């Protein structure tokens, strides 16, 4: 079956909505349907279709078409791939056939069986995927020790996630910049392109280290750490002879010298996953038949990289479906779901729930006078002020529509002098301090406050009362907080 092209998908969407696609439409569709959510045959992976449909319908308002109808249309055109990551196993087996002739049959069979479990279990949870990949490296590929880190390339920090088959306590239990003359620091330089190709080629020829990059994953192999100028010798001694502070007994002199770093992440990623792999515990070489073992390692890495990309795309789409793109706060869809859940919880647990409705004063005038770009900047700055004041991971900030925001305050009382009114007044006061560089105008905000059970007995009444209080704040001169009676 021929590969499905992006043009074919666009044509079907154009026909479905009954419109001719403009360059702007195609640009928007390219963003909504990135390459990472498409399978090798060009189809759209099933887990992403409902999210994509919701976003695509927004591009064509007024057509009367629904996301559910679009999903049905895509499926009818056979543009949807029923994928749950298990079909990656077949790709793995196909690559395994190349390796089969060079690797002992029983060894490869055992590895492929373990890899089957890996691919079967991979999902959209990054932490679970890291654990599954670690198990695969140990059980399928035969390595005794694995440490998993997240490397923040912007800050240069390493964060230890977990380890299996490794003794001792990591020095990177919180984000930390490694020593300048260390393997980790050198790996960061390799990923940033700060090491010349000539130096890399020379190191490979001399057997000092090997650096391999393949778009979405890379590896740094060091056969003997004592021969590398960038190795932190103090840590090498701790690895071999032990260290009380790190609760490490030591693996024995000359044992902890061969090491492999597997990196998962493509060019431009701000964060990548790094798997530190060794055989220190078993005292065996990492590669018994290096060429064949590397091929099998690449097979594993390719499958994990694709699963990682799909998981990332899934979470990105989920995040975009509940966040306002301009301000970064939650959108109206998320607010509706969240306020309903919080109200049910407040009723059941008999605790207060407060709601703030906020509206930027004279926003239309700002847009008309200074332009929409300045208006967008005001919206972002107001959102930043609100987020900085409310409680992280407890309160909810949402863009309710246009220049209007809403804040859900669980377990916060309303009324004059109560917590909710104090929070509202802080927001009003801080917004008043906003300065827009090169423009001479002030920003103010009007706020309406209502609380359950003080002002409302049901959810609809709570929202209505907060909205009415906001209306009074506007009527009474703006730049003020009004509390529902």
Q: How many CB atoms lie within 10 A of CB 171?
A: 16
Block residue for tokens 């890379």: 218
Single out the residue of 39, 127, 47 nearest to residue 91, CA to CA: 39
Report the alpha-carbon distance of residue 187 to residue 175 in Å, rounded: 16
Residues 6+ apart with CB under 8 A from 287: 293, 294
Distances from the Cα of 391 to the Cαs of 1, 61, 150, 410, in angstroms? 53, 36, 27, 10
Check residue 142 and give left, alpha or beta (phi > 0: left; psi -120 to 50: alpha): left
Q: Is 475 a catalytic residue?
A: no
| Max CA distance (Å), the chain | 83
Q: What is the number of alpha carbons within 13 Å of residue 293 lying toward its C-beta?
A: 13
Q: Which residue has the tokens 């060009």?
A: 42
Sign of the CA dihedral 432, 434, 440, 444? Answer: negative
C-alpha 154/C-alpha 159 separation (Å) is 13
Task: Write the CA distances from 82 to 39, 195, 389, integer angstroms.
Answer: 10, 42, 44
Q: Which of 216, 258, 403, 404 is catalytic?
A: 403
Q: Name which of 246, 48, 274 is nearest 146 in CA terms.
A: 274
- What token pair was written down for 409? 């305050």
Residues with active-site annotation: 403
């Amino acid at each position: 079956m021929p590969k499905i092209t992006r043009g074919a998908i666009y044509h079907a969407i154009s026909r479905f909505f009954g419109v001719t696609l403009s360059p702007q439409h195609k640009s928007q569709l390219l963003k909504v349907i990135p390459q990472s959510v498409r399978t090798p045959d060009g189809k759209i992976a099933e887990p992403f279709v409902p999210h994509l449909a919701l976003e695509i319908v927004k591009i064509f308002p007024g057509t009367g078409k629904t996301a559910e109808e679009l999903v049905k249309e895509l499926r009818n055109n056979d543009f949807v791939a029923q994928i749950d990551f298990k079909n990656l196993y077949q790709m793995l087996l196909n690559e395994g056939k190349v390796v089969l002739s060079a690797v002992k049959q029983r060894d490869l069979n055992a590895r492929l069986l373990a890899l089957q479990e890996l691919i079967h279990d991979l999902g959209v949870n990054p932490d679970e995927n890291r654990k599954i990949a670690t198990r695969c490296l140990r059980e399928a590929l035969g390595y005794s020790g694995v440490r998993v880190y997240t490397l923040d390339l912007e800050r240069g920090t390493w964060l230890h996630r977990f380890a299996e088959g490794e003794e001792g306590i990591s020095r990177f239990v919180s984000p930390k910049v490694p020593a300048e003359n260390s393997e980790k620091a050198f790996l960061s330089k390799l990923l940033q392109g700060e090491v010349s190709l000539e130096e890399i080629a020379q190191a490979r020829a001399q057997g000092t280290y090997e650096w391999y990059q393949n778009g979405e994953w890379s590896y740094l192999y060091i056969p003997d750490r004592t021969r590398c100028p960038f190795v932190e010798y103090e840590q090498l001694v701790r690895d071999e002879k032990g260290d009380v502070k790190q609760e490490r007994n030591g693996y024995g002199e000359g044992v902890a010298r061969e090491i492999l770093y597997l990196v998962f992440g493509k060019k431009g990623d701000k964060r990548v996953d790094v798997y530190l792999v060794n055989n220190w515990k078993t005292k065996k070489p990492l590669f018994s038949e290096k060429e064949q073992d590397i091929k099998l390692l690449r097979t594993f890495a390719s499958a994990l990289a694709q699963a990682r990309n799909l998981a990332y795309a899934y979470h990105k789409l989920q995040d975009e479906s509940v966040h306002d793109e301009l301000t970064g706060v939650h959108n109206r869809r998320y607010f509706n779901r969240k306020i309903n859940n919080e109200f049910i919880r407040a009723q059941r647990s008999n605790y207060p729930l407060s709601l703030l409705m906020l509206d930027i004063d004279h926003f239309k005038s700002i847009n008309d006078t200074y332009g929409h770009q300045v208006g967008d900047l005001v919206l972002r700055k107001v959102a930043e002020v609100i987020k900085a004041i409310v409680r992280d991971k407890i309160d909810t900030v949402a863009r309710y529509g246009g220049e209007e925001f809403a804040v859900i305050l669980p377990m916060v009382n309303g009324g004059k002098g109560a917590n909710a009114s104090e929070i509202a007044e802080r927001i009003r006061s801080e917004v008043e301090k906003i300065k827009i560089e090169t423009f001479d105008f002030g920003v103010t905000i009007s706020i309406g406050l209502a609380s359950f059970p003080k002002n409302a007995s049901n959810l609809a009444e709570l929202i209505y009362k907060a909205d009415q209080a906001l209306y009074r704040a506007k009527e009474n001169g703006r730049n003020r907080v009004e509390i529902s009676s």
